Structure 1
Amino acid sequence: MGSPDLLLALLADARLPVGGHTQSAGVEPAMTHGGLTAQDVPAFVAGRLRTVVAVEAGTAVVSRHHVLAGADLARVHRAWAARTPSAPLRAASETLGRGYLRLARTLWPDPPHLDGGWAGFERTCGRTPPRPLVLGALAAVAGLDAGRLVRLCAHEDVATAAAAVLKLDPLDPLVATGWVLRAHDAVEDLVDRCARLTDPDEVPATAAPLVEQFSLQHATTRQRLFHA
């Protein structure tokens, strides 16, 4: 499977063809409906790491554990859905999940850890698998440990937010890069919080009501650059 660190770099690459460029990690909805400014983005990112990303990373880690154990993923899916009450955000996650699943089927067509292959994985999820479930399965198949998986989830969210700002409120790209670098300690805190999770009930249930509210408003906005 190659070096886990090189695999991590590959999966965290924004050029990966999985549809991530259609997302803003909540930045566009927050700017459009909540008055978020570029100066607010570091605090916004930190808040997402404690809430939204904790749910995503925790779900991914538990999914990885279940795949390696040969366990059913339906409970994991239900736990994620209960912690993601916004229908637009669930739909966006399922869209990203399809992109990652297509990538996984191409790079790892005969996954050793999946009973019934990728089709069997989809069946155990009960419906279209959302992004964190697919990332968890992909980590199991590719040999990424739980810590790297959390870093992948967290880095992608922070980097997505920073990249979105450059399109919505252009500024020096070095400033946005600095935001990503300064989030490092918060990302490592999330690793400590989520990397040991094994049960769906342990997935953080950290609400972000404004993120949910803005996503609902954004879903009906006609002029927008990003889905969410």
Structure 2
Amino acid sequence: MTTQAMMLAFLADVRLPVGTHTQSAGLEPALQAGMPVDAVTEYVVTRLATVIEVEAATAVVARFTELARGELDPVERAWAARTPSRALRDNSRQLGRGQARLVDVLWPSAGGERCGRYSRAVLIGIAAARSGLGSFETASLIGYDDLQSVTSALLKLEPTDPVQVAAVTRDLLPEVDAMAERVAGLTRPDDIPAHAAPQLELWAEQHSHATERLFHA
């Protein structure tokens, strides 16, 4: 296994202290709204083609910008403009704080600057640049993390056979690859795609006001 492959596995590890254990990738509000369990595969495919493609593209552009020692604020603004749900933006920036601490400790800036308060996608792009991940691997990391968040949450939200859930993860890996291929070559904030996912955004907004929930988002 190459160092880059091992680094990808390391950053995709759910045991990293970045707060992903609090996430269901929107699955909890989707199920609460009546989405059937047998629609989980379609749900993941929809996320990969919309909100996650935007996040993966943002991470890829942030990685390129960090390597070029450019300004990351335009990348953050481009991501925010393509993420109309305030709940999704707030949650991503909360996760970004955990990611920033990881980056500052494990891959500190040569100049001593600490990571700013960016979204999770931008911080993952910074981590990718400093740890040596390629652009395709960066996008794959975003997609795989989301897939794992959904399937891990499913085991806690519904009485489901873990082996069948593992099969869902395996079967959707080509979808992650396809998404990563679409965005791996992007370099500018304006390149980040804008995909609408109004139903997912509505569920996220409703969940942010829920008083009984297992996951933060």
Question: TM-score scaled by structure 1?
Answer: 0.92
Q: CA shift at 1:8, angstroms?
A: 0.6
Residues 1:171 and 1:190: Cα distance change in structure 2 (over 3 Å): same
Q: CA shift at 1:184, angstroms?
A: 1.5
Distance in 1 separating the partners of 2:29 and 2:79: 21
Tell me the percent identity: 44
Q: CA shift at 1:118, angstroms?
A: 4.2
Question: What's 1:190 paired with?
Answer: 179
Q: Deviations over 1:31-81 (max 9, x none)?
A: 112x11221100000000000110000000000000111111111111100
Once superposed, what is the RMSD of the aligned Cα atoms? 1.2
Distance in 1 separating the partners of 2:89 and 2:119: 7
Say yes or no: does 1:202 pair with 2:184.
no
1:102-141 equivalence runs, <5 A: 102-109=101-108, 111-112=109-110, 116-119=111-114, 121-122=115-116, 128-141=117-130
Q: CA shift at 1:179, angstroms?
A: 1.1
Distance in 2 separating the partners of 1:188 and 1:118: 33
1:154-193 equivalence runs, <5 A: 154-193=143-182
* Structure 1: segments with no counterpart, 5+ residues: 123-127
Give, as a single letter, the amino acid of the residue that structure 1 aligns with 2:61.
V
Give, as a single letter, the amino acid of the residue that structure 1 aligns with 2:216.
H
After superposing on structure 2, the runs of 4+ consecutive aligned residues of structure 1 that deviate more than 2 Å are 116-119
1:3-42 equivalence runs, <5 A: 3-33=3-33, 35-42=34-41
Distance in 2 separating the partners of 1:8 and 1:117: 25
For the residue of structure 2 that corresponds to 1:183, the secondary structure is helix
Give, as a single letter, the amino acid of the residue that structure 2 aligns with 1:150.
A
Question: TM-score scaled by structure 2?
Answer: 0.96
Question: What's 1:98 paired with?
Answer: 97
For the residue of structure 1 that corresponds to 2:25, the secondary structure is coil
Distance in 1 separating the partners of 2:74 and 2:147: 28
Give, as a single letter, the amino acid of the residue that structure 2 aligns with 1:166.
L
* Aligned length in residues: 216
Say yes or no: does 1:217 pair with 2:206.
yes
Give, as a single letter, the amino acid of the residue that structure 2 aligns with 1:12.
A
Give, as a single letter, the amino acid of the residue that structure 1 aligns with 2:18.
V
